[in-house]
Structure 1
Amino acid sequence: MELDDALVLIGEWGLYQTLMYWLITIPGTWFCVWPMMSVVFQAGFPETYYCNVGENSQLNQSIPIIDMEDGSPVYDNCYMYVNSSVDNSTMPCSDGWYYESDNFAETIVTEWDLVCEEAFLSQLSQSIFMVGVMIGAFIAGYLSDKFGRKTIFLISLWSESVLGILVAFTQSYIGYTILRFLTGVMLQGVMVSNLILATEMFPPGKRLYAGFLNNISWGCGIMLLAPMAYLVRNWRYLQLFMHAPGLCTFYYFWVIPESMRWLISIGQKDKAEKILYTAARFNKKQLPENVLSDSVTVDAPMCQNGFGGGSNLKPFGKTLDENNMDGNSNCENYVSPSDNIVFSKTNGASNDDQTLSGTDGVTKLVDDEKEEDPKYTLLDLLKRPRLAANTAIMCLAWFVTSLVYFGISYNSVNIGGGFYLSFFLNGMVEIPGQVIALFATLKWGRRIPTCTILVLAGLFCGITIFIPAETSDGTNLVPLQLTMYLIGKCAITGAFSCFWTWAPELFPTLIRNLGFGVTNFFASFGGVVAPFTVYLAYNNLNAVLVIFGILSLLTAIIVLFLPETKDQPMPRTIEEAEEMAKAKTKQKKLTKAENEPSNIQGKDNMTYFAEKETQTL
């Protein structure tokens, strides 16, 4: 029996899967989003700072006054008089700075004087952290395939926790930056492994929702960080508060199961079966002996009610090898959830006449000797004009979306409405953004919803610019300003979610990991650039919003050149993908799949590899 069939029988979303899912997902998202977003608090600038002039000096005689605000002088942040009794010549601060803030007790900015000419260093450290995340994406994916999802998840989680604790005790900016870089590398191992480990315990029909809840948990983590930072105003204590709980997951070694799919892929089917039996007992379900053996399959009568919940399924034992599909059987067309292929056999036919029919109507004879899969590289992908164009568009689109997403998140505290409240709302609006993206892509596909959401993101970033903080008669418009800003954040979150679904669907099966990895690299690069928008926003937030708005609108246009993938059979080879990419409408693609099943470069008889729309990344 296939693993996906067995997962249905134990309950597609039973109590066991629910407990394991949240044990993996909560630390897998919260312990990642906290270090990634904590730069807002750890590298926060104080509201007031100026040169430290000593106790016996008067400020107005030592520091230039650059403005008056509510009758109080605003002193220059970076310069002091050389000798005010002689002339007004100035020099950089010589004895450090004086800081005053209602939002922070201590940040890396105030501790290491990262202001004035060195102000960019606070955001540079975050960019270097994101470089670590980007590098970790390549390492984690390879290692999780080689050594197992659970192994890499736990090693990364505990390593990230230890490194995060060490960051709290570092005494220099360089040490802080290096340790944060290493934390970023480990953090990506947690992100990648947690998503794969959590979703692979479900059959295909439930993996989309597992991924969706993973995204919701990410937004909840952002929301939770706001009250944590509000209560813990010192960056070192906040660092400990974020990372120490990771060490409390030591018991995961005995509790969390390894991915059953990975165990089967390395030939350890017996260990996968043990996990299945544990889950079945926990969910109060029954499984046959040697459930993953090829000689075990679903009993015909149980196919009558489908695979909705698996509550009425029981042990069984017939195989396709046996000539037992007679006229009384309810399983003449049993749809296996594991691969969405219809197994059919006509009465009295021999085993050689058995066929595999995809649900899109494409039929392929089962060959005794399977043709060896071709090996592809990135160069092969770029040689195909249409696939190369799709890859380039997706790389650019995901880069912009990531840049705007992280840029809006980091700058949310600069828009007004309360420092911690603004950040909390910044996390809260991610939840409706994810919900909207999920239902829009399921109902209307990928291209039009993604384009529409990006347009909304661009428009609301632009609208925010034209709303003043206060009207001429004194009316406070900051709440309206913040609302427009947060709608833009909600939209860009939805766009990010759409690309997460859409990107892997553009590539053929045999090169999907490579193609997705390339596009995800550019998404990570957007995260590397985003911290510098905070540095720019200190001087001109409107300029940053203009950049975000224009880039979002331009991206909305270029994604229209990407093919629609909803309800389309996913290609297996580059030749099939290139052929499918040439179709300009969904109807043309469907017509090609129905009428020309054997006319693609002569590679084999199957036009498109019938595969579930939801993929495990």
Structure 2
Amino acid sequence: MIKEEKIELTTIIGAYGPFQRVVFLFAITISMFGAYHNLIITAVAPKIDHWCARPPDYDNMTDEEWKELAIPKENILGEERYSQCRMYNISTNATVSCNSWEYDHSHYRSTIVDEWDLVCSRSWLVSLSQSVYMAGYMTSMIIFGQLSDRVGRRMVICIALTILLTAGFSTLLSQSFVTFITLRYFVSLGVSGVGATSFVLLMEVVGPAKRSFFGLAYEFGWATGYLVLALVAYIIKSWFYVQLVAMVAALILVVGYWVLPESPRWLMANKKFSRARKIIMNAVERNEMDKEDAELKFELLKKEFDKEQPKSVFSKVTVFDLLKMPVLRKRTLIVYFCWFVNSFTYYAMSLNTNDLGGNPYINFAIAGAVEFPAYAISILMIQKMGRRWSQSGCMLLAGLACVVTIFFSGSTLWLKITFAMVGKFLITASYGILYVYSAEIYPTVVRNVGVGSSSTIARFGAIIAPFVKELGHATHPSVPFGVYGAICITSGLTVLLLPETRGALLPDTLAEGEAFRGPSSPSPKKSSKEAKGTSKKEREDSSREEDTSKRESASKGEDASKREEGSKAEESSRA
């Protein structure tokens, strides 16, 4: 009978229908904008050739004539090239540093590099701007994650969307580089706030069986935004208009916001039953569910939420509890390292496609296109091969592909680009797997804390990633790929020290997490100290309790893993 069952919200409104479709379209749209803004620095601040500017008296000379006269040649990797940062003093014939530059506009008409002369001793500022942007993502997770639990999903989306639009349009009016990176920080704050909160809203209104699909679909939105950026940059070739396209298109989110519902689950949890009933019955009508049955189930659901809940054990645990026990500490540090490596390598490879050689637009587009099959294959892999071998295999092969790129250049440049894209494909698949795997590694009482802290560690990787380009410039262009390869292979090997979680009864408590060894190990309940020395009757009672615990734990683990599967935007994400 209904009253004997625990009522799930989506049994009232339906697992998916026109009501959820509005939320899905909004979420996947902001996912596209998330990728666009995260990677836009590649289009607005690309690697472009430059040389010391000629004095006004030499304006009648061609570029080649000026270079032959005034620009010294340097030996770079065995190849003679015109210096980009020095010129001859025509009066004394001594070499001096440039104080202004001319730029090659064969690929790009206008960039922030030539707008504010971000070359030579100022080239590192491009990497700084992306790091500041990623810092905005980290700040957003801290601020909006807590705020959405207090004031609701829709209110936070409104606040974050206002920040995004205000900062985004203001970026177009930037008169200095400092203003530009400051506004980019707030763009990041806004886009990640809208993205993370809308993803949570989506997971709260779709049925449990649908969450895995929508987690994957959300990632396809990200990959689509990646490709859209490549196309827009190729057509427009001006940083101002590339940014303008993003902001004008973002106005569609304002329209979407007005038809976006508040989370009925959040309203029920906060005992705002009148508003919740209105939204739920609207969803019932739009999804063509039975109204009388919905009314009955709503009253039962209301009674469940209306009960006074005891203080939850979840509020008593922190990230430090993960580091107190030896087994959990080892696993936590391995998971942290994997998140750092995945985020670092993913963003370093995405942001530095210009340094591969060849056509920069094609390189960037391919790097985006490989994400579609990568996300799809990651889901198949974890189902067929399990989490551990899938994660380890992707990282080991990604590292190997990156190392192989070191051996190709010149006439074999196409092979270098091919292996680099194979590495990008594998690290993307690894990222998708890691969301599921890490959610299952942690015991239930620290699952949110574990995944949340892992995502924070990933942000540090994303903040550092832009500076890999500077490492390559200071040493050798192959050094970054050597770094990617080394850390990916190391990470892939350390993953083998983690237990498999596919098909396993997931642990609930810290003690069970400490004893957890995978699907072949004894049940966490049986492994606990309380299970020792029990009588036959006690073992029978324990068995019944274990069966109940299995159902509850499996449900929690499934929901948690599916909820985390597509949440890079919430990490951010990537977030």
Task: Indicate the TM-score class for this superposition, using the shorter chain for normalisation.
Answer: 0.7 to 0.9
AA aligned opposite 1:432: P
AA aligned opposite 1:436: I
Q: Which has the larger radius of gyration?
A: 1
Partner of 2:471: 536
Partner of 1:241: 245
CA 600–277 in structure 1, closer or farther in 2 if over 3 Å, else same: farther
% identical aligned pairs:
29
Partner of 2:161: 157
Greater mean deviation of Cα atoms: 179-188 or 427-436: 179-188
Distance 1:183 1:370 in 2: 40
More helix by share: 2
CA 402–81 in structure 1, closer or farther in 2 if over 3 Å, else same: same
Partner of 1:479: 414
Q: Report matched runs for 1:129-168 at 5 Å.
A: 129-168=133-172
Q: Does 1:415 align with 2:356?
A: yes
Partner of 1:76: 83
Q: Report matched runs for 1:207-218 at 5 Å.
A: 207-218=211-222
Q: Does 1:576 align with 2:521?
A: no
> The residue matched to 1:66 in structure 2 has which SS?
strand
Counterpart of 1:520 (choices 455, 458, 472) is 455
Partner of 1:46: 48
Distance 2:122 2:237 in 1: 23
Counterpart of 1:493 (choices 428, 438, 443) is 428
Distance 1:12 1:293 in 2: 15
Counterpart of 2:397 (choices 456, 459, 464) is 456
* Displacement of 1:568: 2.5
Any idea what the Cα deviations from partners look like across 1:487-517, whole Å, max 9, x if unmatched?
A: 1111000111111112222223333222222
CA 111–198 in structure 1, closer or farther in 2 if over 3 Å, else same: same
CA 527–369 in structure 1, closer or farther in 2 if over 3 Å, else same: closer
Any idea what the Cα deviations from partners look like across 1:206-253, whole Å, max 9, x if unmatched?
A: 111111110111011101111111122221221121123223322334
Any idea what the Cα deviations from partners look like across 1:119-149, whole Å, max 9, x if unmatched?
A: 1111111111111111211112111111112
* Displacement of 1:20: 2.8
Any idea what the Cα deviations from partners look like across 1:410-442, whole Å, max 9, x if unmatched?
A: 122322342112111111100111011111112
Counterpart of 2:69 (choices 61, 76, 91) is 61
* Displacement of 1:594: 6.3
Distance 1:165 1:465 in 2: 41
Distance 2:21 2:396 in 1: 36
Partner of 2:16: 13
Partner of 1:197: 201
Contact 2:505 2:519 in 1 (8 A): no
* Displacement of 1:596: 6.8
Contact 1:460 1:488 in 2 (8 A): yes
Higher relative contact order (CA 8 A, sep 6+): 2
Contact 1:80 1:92 in 2 (8 A): yes
AA aligned opposite 2:515: E
> The residue matched to 2:214 in structure 1 has which SS?
helix
- The answer for unaligned runs of 5 or more in structure 1 is 298-318, 321-367, 471-476
Any idea what the Cα deviations from partners look like across 1:525-582, whole Å, max 9, x if unmatched?
A: 11001111123345633111111011110000111112222223333332332232xx
Partner of 1:599: 531
Partner of 2:173: 169
Counterpart of 1:393 (choices 326, 334, 338) is 334
Contact 2:227 2:369 in 1 (8 A): yes
CA 459–533 in structure 1, closer or farther in 2 if over 3 Å, else same: same
> The residue matched to 1:248 in structure 2 has which SS?
helix
CA 561–595 in structure 1, closer or farther in 2 if over 3 Å, else same: closer
Q: Report matched runs for 1:260-299 at 5 Å.
A: 260-287=264-291, 288-293=293-298, 295=300
Distance 1:601 1:431 in 2: 53
Greater mean deviation of Cα atoms: 16-25 or 426-435: 16-25
Query: TM-score, length-normalised on structure 1?
Result: 0.80
Contact 1:200 1:207 in 2 (8 A): no
Any idea what the Cα deviations from partners look like across 1:270-310, whole Å, max 9, x if unmatched?
A: 4333333222322322142534445489xxxxxxxxxxxxx
Distance 1:128 1:204 in 2: 37
Contact 2:440 2:506 in 1 (8 A): yes
- The answer for unaligned runs of 5 or more in structure 2 is 60-65, 535-541, 565-575
Any idea what the Cα deviations from partners look like across 1:100-126, whole Å, max 9, x if unmatched?
A: 122211111101111111111111111
CA 53–79 in structure 1, closer or farther in 2 if over 3 Å, else same: farther
AA aligned opposite 1:551: I
CA 586–168 in structure 1, closer or farther in 2 if over 3 Å, else same: same
Contact 1:136 1:188 in 2 (8 A): yes
Q: Does 1:561 align with 2:497?
A: yes
Any idea what the Cα deviations from partners look like across 1:557-612, whole Å, max 9, x if unmatched?
A: 111112222223333332332232xx3x421144x55687963999x966665224
Counterpart of 1:586 (choices 511, 519, 524) is 519
* Displacement of 1:23: 2.4
Distance 2:6 2:250 in 1: 31
Distance 2:297 2:273 in 1: 7
Query: TM-score, length-normalised on structure 2?
Result: 0.85
Any idea what the Cα deviations from partners look like across 1:77-114, whole Å, max 9, x if unmatched?
A: 11122345x4x4211113x1111122211111101111
* Count of aligned residue pairs for this structure pair: 533
AA aligned opposite 1:50: C
Contact 2:515 2:528 in 1 (8 A): no
Contact 1:458 1:552 in 2 (8 A): yes
Distance 1:67 1:295 in 2: 78
Q: Does 1:118 align with 2:122?
A: yes
Distance 2:82 2:358 in 1: 25
CA 522–574 in structure 1, closer or farther in 2 if over 3 Å, else same: same
Any idea what the Cα deviations from partners look like across 1:344-394, whole Å, max 9, x if unmatched?
A: xxxxxxxxxxxxxxxxxxxxxxxx997863612232222122112211111
AA aligned opposite 1:91: V
Distance 1:11 1:451 in 2: 38
Distance 1:369 1:260 in 2: 19
* Displacement of 1:68: 11
Contact 2:87 2:96 in 1 (8 A): yes
